Every structure is written in structure tokens, then in C-alpha cells.
Amino acid sequence: MGNVSEPNGADAPISMPLGTDHAEIREAVQRVCRDFPGEYWRGLEEREEYPTDFVAALTENGFLSALIPEEYGGLGLPLRAAAVILEEIHAAGCNAAACHAQMYIMGTLLRHGSEAQKNAYLPGIASGELRLQAFGVTEPTTGSDTTQLRTRAVRDGDGYVVNGQKVWTSRAFQSDLMLLLARTTPLDQVTKRTEGLSTFLVDMREARGNGLEIRPLKAMINHNTTEVYFDNLRIPASALIGEEGKGFRYVLDGMNAERLLIASECIGDARWFTETSTRYANERTVFGRPIGQNQGVQFPIARAYAETRAADLLVRQGCALFDAGQPCGEAANMAKMLASEASWHAAEACLQTHGGFGFAREYDVERKWREARLYQVAPISTNLVLAHIAQHVLGMPRSY
């Protein structure tokens, strides 16, 4: 299996794997993850540290360059291969959030950047020398309403001057470059609100202390997320990706890949929860029998498993469409929503199955439970997915 076709024309045949696809990649990821057991992640959380060693192991073994074309030093693999990598990381009890963005943010650069930009950055990103894993979209006052964002980039001579603020900019401290979405033409001067936004590749190594300030944002999970402040930050005009004013479309383009990859992480989480629940339900004996003998314990686990399998099929379909170069927005959004719900239901079943021990840190259940909750909110919340389906797929009136 593993027979997803290469990116192709719109009429390319589509096939999707049903069984264990990319078995050799899965196996290799499992080998790496074996060195990073639960106690590693618990320790990091206590110290609020970034999983530097884990990310280094993935980088050294080439996993994070999977999607970068070979001509730029990557492996040029299909999206499905990256999905499998992230799924296995999460199924092993690890968490890929510290580095998944290094795999896909470069997509915007790859699709819309100039040849000079691609040659300048992609080989470094492929080797891991250069980290492009910060994505500045969300702002504190406008949230999901992306087109209303207030950060401004104003053309000034041979560059732009940026002012504004981003929130939840994950991994900004662990990234050299940031993909920034900012408004270049004020809202009242554009015909459509999706116009006038532009994407920039900001070199944070030069910018920090010169108009760019990053502050850590403490969160429910160890996510290394931050707030970023721009105060008259000067960036060169060469930082602009593609055409000025078209940035929103460029960002949307990359979102399908992101959704499918996040959905794969959810599938991995769900697998971890279900395996952990099943093992515990078979072992834990009270009232003289394994708790798993009670249907009240079995059914939530079984239901979440069924939901996971269904969501996984949609993830596979989404990846197959993406890899065939066909529109996949509907599948990608639905896959992310259903996978995030399946993993949450599996998480809930797992915590409940473990009773009081579910709260004991050493079981990792509570950590994974907190981590799994994120994906119904970010990178896009469930309501916004539903609004997309209702309005763009089904054709009901727009609510916003």
C-alpha cells in the first residue's frame, strides 16, 4: 500500500491506502520515539522546557524535511507520508506540536515564494539549520475573524514598517523565521476584506530587540507559545512573499495541509488513548473482575475507536486529494473536526477508565488529555469548520 499518487493534474486518478500505509516510515518513527518515554515529557512540563532533544532526533533522522522537494534538500514525499510521521509520534505518547510546523509552514514559501527566496531558505529549513516554525496570524482583538487583523505593514522606501501584535504565536522563541500575515492596504481601501493582506518571511534573529519583542504565554499545556509585539519593526521588501495584497489566499492555501496533519496527530492521540484504556481495562480488577468486563467501561472506549476509524478514513481521503493536486478543503476541514472529536472522546474514555489513577501524572493520561483538548480550538475552532461546511460546501447564507 502507500500508493498515493504524486501531485498531478486535476484529473489524476486518486487512490487511498486502507491498511498500514508507509509501514517502514511508521516503524522508523516508533524507533525514535522509544527514546522519549512519558517521563521525558513529564520532566519537560515541570520545567516548562522545549523538547530540544526530541526535535533534534527527528531533525537528524530527516523526518521534518519530508515535504520539502529534493531539489531543495528535502525528501519530496507526499503529504500522506508526513501525516503518517505525525500520527505515529502521537500514537507513541509523544507530542509533535513542538516541531510539526517546521514541516508545513514552508509550504507558503514553496508555493508562492520567488526562486531566490526558495534557494535562500529551503535548503536550510530542510537541514534543520534554519527554523521556520512560527506562524503569526491570530491577534488578541480579532481572533477567528482573520481578515480584520490589525497588524499593519506599511511600505517605506526599500522596505516595510510593521506595527501590531500577535497572540498564541507558538515556538517564536524556537524559530529563526516567522511567517507573518499583516495588512498592507487598509480595509476601507479594498473591495473585498480578504484583499490587502500580505505574507512576509520575517527574520526574527535580526528583528528581536529592533522592534520585535516576544513574551512567553503560559498555557494549559507545555506548548511554548508566545505573544509577539511589533513596534516600528523595519523589514526589507524582499521579505514579502508573492504579490502584495494576496497574502490571505496564500495562507488559506497552506491551511489544508495543516488541517490534515493536525488531524493525523489527533488520530495518533486517539490510538494512544484507546490502547492505554484497553490495557488498563483488562488489567485493573475491582469487584473481583477486570473493569473492562463491564459494558459501561467498554462502550465509551469502543465508540471512540469507531469514531477514530471513521475520521481516519477522511484524513486518508483528504491526503489522497491533496497529493493528487485536487481541491481538498472540504475533506481537510471535516477530517480535522472529526479527528479532534474522536481523540477527545478517546481521551475522556481513557481518563474515566483510569478512575483516580487518571489524575496521577505518572500515567501520562492527564497530560495527553490536556494536550488532546487543544485541537477542537486550534488551529481552527469547531464552529468555524461547521460554518465553512454550512456556507461554502452546502451553500447556506453566510453568518459572518
Partner 1 sequence: MKVLVPVKRVIDYNVKVRVKADSSGVDLANVKMSMNPFDEIAVEQAIRLKEAGQADEIVIVSIGVEKAQETIRTALAMGADRGILVKAVDNVETDVEPLAVAKILAKIVEEEGPGLVLCGKQAIDNDMNATGQMLAALLGWAQGTFASKLAIEGDHASVTREVDGGLQTIKVKMPAVVTVDLRLNEPRYASLPNIMKAKKKPLDVKTPEDYGVDVSPRLTVVSVKEPPARKAGVKVADVAELVDKLKNEAGVI
352 binds ligand FAD (CB under 6 A): no
Residue 135 binding partner per list partner 1, ligand FAD, none, with a CB distance cut-off of 5 to 8 Å that depends on partner kind: ligand FAD
Residue 287 binding partner per list ligand FAD, partner 1, none, with a CB distance cut-off of 5 to 8 Å that depends on partner kind: none
Nearest approach, Cβ of 300 to partner 1 (angstroms)? 24
Q: 117 or 170: whose CB is closer to ligand FAD?
A: 170
Residue that is written with C-alpha cell 487511498 in the block: 16
Residue 170 binding partner per list partner 1, ligand FAD, none, with a CB distance cut-off of 5 to 8 Å that depends on partner kind: ligand FAD
Residue 225 binding partner per list partner 1, ligand FAD, none, with a CB distance cut-off of 5 to 8 Å that depends on partner kind: ligand FAD
Residue among 4, 16, 25, 291 that touches partner 1 (CB under 8 A): 25
20 binds ligand FAD (CB under 6 A): no
Q: 329 or 379: whose CB is closer to ligand FAD?
A: 379
Span of 24-32, 94-102, 162-170, 294-302 interacting with partner 1 by CB under 8 A: 24-32
**Grid coordinates in use for 145?**
475573524
* Residue 71 annotated in active site: no
71 binds partner 1 (CB under 8 A): no
**Which of 195, 258, 307, 341 is flagged as catalytic?**
258
Q: 63 or 160: whose CB is closer to partner 1?
A: 63
Three-state DSSP class for residue 246: strand
Angular region, 349: left φ>0, alpha ψ -120 to 50, beta rest: alpha
83 binds partner 1 (CB under 8 A): no
d(CA 364, CA 138): 30
170 binds ligand FAD (CB under 6 A): yes
63 binds partner 1 (CB under 8 A): yes
Residue 301 binding partner per list partner 1, ligand FAD, none, with a CB distance cut-off of 5 to 8 Å that depends on partner kind: none
Q: Within its chain, how far is the Cα of 251 from the centroid?
A: 14
32 binds partner 1 (CB under 8 A): yes
Span of 60-68, 285-293, 333-341, 374-382 interacting with partner 1 by CB under 8 A: 60-68
Build a one-symbol-per-residue string for 127-146: x at contacts with ligand FAD by CB under 6 A, - elsewhere: --------xxxx----xx--
Angular region, 364: left φ>0, alpha ψ -120 to 50, beta rest: left
Residue 199 contacts residue 251 (beta carbons within 8 Å) = yes
148 binds partner 1 (CB under 8 A): no
d(CA 216, CA 278): 38
The closest of 341, 172, 137, 369 to 258, measured between CA atoms, is 137
d(CA 65, CA 73): 8
- DSSP letter at 98 equals T
Cα 188-239-232 angle, rounded to 5 deg: 60
Span of 1-9, 45-53, 119-127, 163-171 interacting with ligand FAD by CB under 6 A: 163-171
Dihedral sign computed on CA atoms, order 154, 159, 164, 167: positive
Nearest approach, Cβ of 146 to ligand FAD (angstroms)? 8
Residue among 100, 223, 246, 259 that touches ligand FAD (CB under 6 A): 223
Residue that is written with C-alpha cell 518515554 in the block: 37
Q: 88 or 244: whose CB is closer to partner 1?
A: 88
d(CA 244, CA 145): 20
The closest of 74, 87, 78 to 29, measured between CA atoms, is 87
Task: Give every CB contact of residue 291 below 8 A, 6+ residues apart in sequence.
Answer: 280, 281, 284, 285, 297, 353
Half-sphere exposure of 31 (CA within 13 A, CB side): 8
d(CA 335, CA 315): 5
Residue 195 contacts residue 248 (beta carbons within 8 Å) = yes
Helix (H) / strand (E) containing 326: none
Residue among 18, 31, 148, 392 that touches partner 1 (CB under 8 A): 31
Task: Give every CB contact of residue 269 below 8 A, 6+ residues apart in sequence.
Answer: 90, 91, 343, 346, 347, 368, 371, 372
Nearest approach, Cβ of 31 to partner 1 (angstroms)? 4
# residues contacting partner 1 (CB under 8 A): 16
Segment 242-271, which members bind ligand FAD (CB under 6 A)?
none
Contact residues for partner 1 (CB under 8 A)? 23-25, 27-28, 31-32, 60-63, 65-66, 75, 77, 85
Q: Which residues are catalytic?
A: 258
Contact residues for ligand FAD (CB under 6 A)? 135-138, 143-144, 168-170, 219, 223, 225, 374, 377-381, 383-384, 387, 399-400
